[in-house]
Structure 1
Amino acid sequence: MSAAVETGPRNALSSRWQNWRRGAYRFRQSTLSIVGLVIVALLIAVALVGPYVVPHPEHVAGGVSTAMRFRPPSAQFWFGTNELGQDVFSLVVAGSRISLLAGLAVVVIAAIFGTLIGAVAGYFGRWVDEALMRFTDLMLTLPSLILAMAIAAALGPGIGNMVFAIAMSWWPGFARLVRGEVMAKKEEVFVQAARALGAGAPRILMRHILPNVISPIIVKMSLDMGFAILTVASLGFVGIGVKPPTPEWGSLLSLARGYMPDYWWTAIFPGMAIFLAVFGFNLLGDGLRDVLDPKARR
């Protein structure tokens, strides 16, 4: 009897390990997924250590050097200088931390709030589902960027207000996804067995249903990261998000737009940073979807 009990968990761990090995193999077979992983890893590394190793930290802090205005890219200034004589490379590298952390915060807050709403609606159904989903549908009818701009303008400038504003326009997608997954899982045998044993709704949701729907949530979070960074940059571009002298990719683009095309480098390099972030997270999200999709497992 004890041997059978020990064999059960061991077989479960072995099966889980085999699934992870198959998933990692499928991920390695996709060149684009590897490219996305490399881009995201480089962006994270730049965000973590970049602000400490930039060649001109005084420019990141708001210092100006008018004698160096609009210098083109060179060995001294890799990305050139802007209208204030600041090193664009230092500003782009330092701005990566703000953009990536703000995008991550948006996705995490939206995922938590949307998962809570979707799980409650999908599990209890009936009038609870009707009320929560009609509210979700109402939020979906509003353009997310316009809604985020309205909330951010009402709350005032600041990174925290900007993140909260975008997250409040982002959660309905997670709510709809989780609701559908929970409605399918709550009819499974293991959920009915837990209910028959007397488990309450919170325990069933937290211990049995949500751990089994985490894969599509992770995939959506990875796919949404790039677009969240783009939305953060959009608010910074229109002047609602992060305010100078704090470097942020969207605000850098906003300041550079008046000097195009003569001083193209002031806009090209912040724009390329946004492009790489969106491109990398989309490729990584596609790879994770192939790995975590249960239908792809053999």
Structure 2
Amino acid sequence: MSASATPDARASAVAARRQNWRRAAYRFQQSWLSIVGLAIVVLLFVAAVAGPSLVPYPADIAGGINTATRFEAPSIAHLFGTNELGQDVFTLVIAGARISLLSGVAVVVLGALAGTIVGALAGYYGGWTDEILMRIADLKLTLPSLILAMAVAAALGAGLVNTIIAIALTWWPGYARLVRGEVIAKKEELFVQVAQALGAGTGRILRRHILPNIVSPIIVKMSLDMGFAILTVASLGFIGIGVKPPTPEWGSLLSIARNYMPDYWWTAMFPGLAIFLAVFGFNLLGDGLRDVLDPRARR
């Protein structure tokens, strides 16, 4: 009888998961703003992955110069116009999506990974471990993230990798505090106590029992943080300590274009619009994921 019950139990578990996914998709579809956010994010990632190979002027990505077409207004030949070097702004904005999105994803993943480790250890062990780790996080939170990222980036030097490291070092405390609270609540659950009674080690309990049950709020926070990570990367590029030209990046494009405002408005408007759409899209998507993964927080 047990042999026949096992396949039935597995089938029931699969059916329950499918039902949960259907309910999640239904909740997500109830908000048209979430659908808009998903569409914007998908469009941005398509531009990041395939855009540089499909742009009309690929030579401009490598720093090509064409002085005969300097400061041409938006037209059919140049959808977003051209800049001071005669480069196609549309090409640069599309190519910049790869750098900006890659940087944002890397910052959020590194920050979430470090913060999850710190928060899990602090919440599970408590005591002096919790005090030391959380006081370090509190100390970090007393400093403005952008100012600290500027200081670290200036010390490390300009460049994509250094920019990502500088911002990631300022990003982890929020995840640490979130994970710590979730771990403190979960470690008192019966399934954790059973695992402890069976002799499971701390690492196994955290990896196999606690963290899989708190992944939803982490994913929601990551989706909401993506837009702000991209904005921070652009801010460092704007003040000149991020990604350097000729590598196209939205913040550096905007920084150069400000020198030619308002006469050649298109050189600044389209990189700025790209940053706005990224932040807007990820915020809308994060709200939708929060409704799906945490129904108690539904708007």
TM-score range, shorter chain: over 0.9
Counterpart of 1:82 in structure 2 is 83
Residue by residue over 1:215-256, the C-alpha shift from the partner in whole angstroms, topping out at 9 and shown as x without a partner, is 000000000000000000000000010000000000000000
**2:113 corresponds to which residue?**
112
Alignment of 1:67-106 (within 5 A): 67-106=68-107
Please state if 1:264 is matched with 2:258: no
SS at match of 1:85: coil
Q: 1:294, CA displacement in angstroms?
A: 5.0
Deviation digits for residues 258-290 of structure 1 (CA, Å, limit 9, x no counterpart)? 111110000000000000000000000000000
1:197 aligned partner: 198
In structure 1, the partner of 2:280 is: 279
Per-residue displacement from partner, 1:23-43 (whole Å, max 9, x unpaired)? 100101110000000000000
Q: Give the Cα separation in 2 of the matches to 1:162 and 1:4.
A: 55
Please report how far the alpha carbon of residue 7 of structure 1 lies from its aligned counterpart in structure 2 after TM superposition.
Answer: 2.8
Whether 1:139 and 2:140 are equivalent positions in the alignment is: yes
- Residue in 2 aligned with 1:254? 255
Q: In the TM superposition, what are the counterparts of 1:15-30 in structure 2 within 5 Å?
A: 15-30=16-31
Which SS does the other structure have where 1:75 is aligned?
A: coil
Q: Which runs of 5+ in 1 are unaligned?
A: none
- What amino acid is aligned across from residue 47 of structure 1 in structure 2? A
Give TM-score scaled by structure 2 length. 0.97
C-alpha distance in structure 2 between counterparts of 1:294 and 1:57, whole Å: 46
How big is the shift at 1:128?
0.5
SS in 1 for 2:183: helix
> Which letter does structure 1 place at the counterpart of 2:115?
G
Q: 3-state DSSP class of the match of 1:97?
A: helix
Q: Distance in 1 between matches of 2:164 and 2:41?
A: 21
**How many positions carry a matched residue from both structures?**
297
* TM-score, with structure 1 as normaliser: 0.98
Give 1:57's aligned residue: 58
Q: Letter of the aligned partner of 1:35 in structure 2?
A: V
Alpha-carbon shift at residue 51 of structure 1 (Å): 0.3
Distance 2:121 2:249 in 1: 37
Percent identity (aligned):
72
Query: Where do 5+ consecutive residues of structure 2 fail to align?
Result: none
Q: Secondary structure at the match of 2:255?
A: helix
Q: Deviation digits for residues 73-125 of structure 1, max 9, x if unmatched?
A: 01111100111111100000100000000000000000000000000000000
Who is 1:42 aligned against? 43
Please tell me whether the aligned partners of residues 290 and 297 of structure 2 are also in contact (alpha carbons under 8 angstroms).
no
Which whole-Å CA distance do the structure 2 matches of 1:87 and 1:94 have between them?
11
Give matches, 1:140-289, under 5 Å: 140-289=141-290
The amino acid that maps onto 2:228 is F
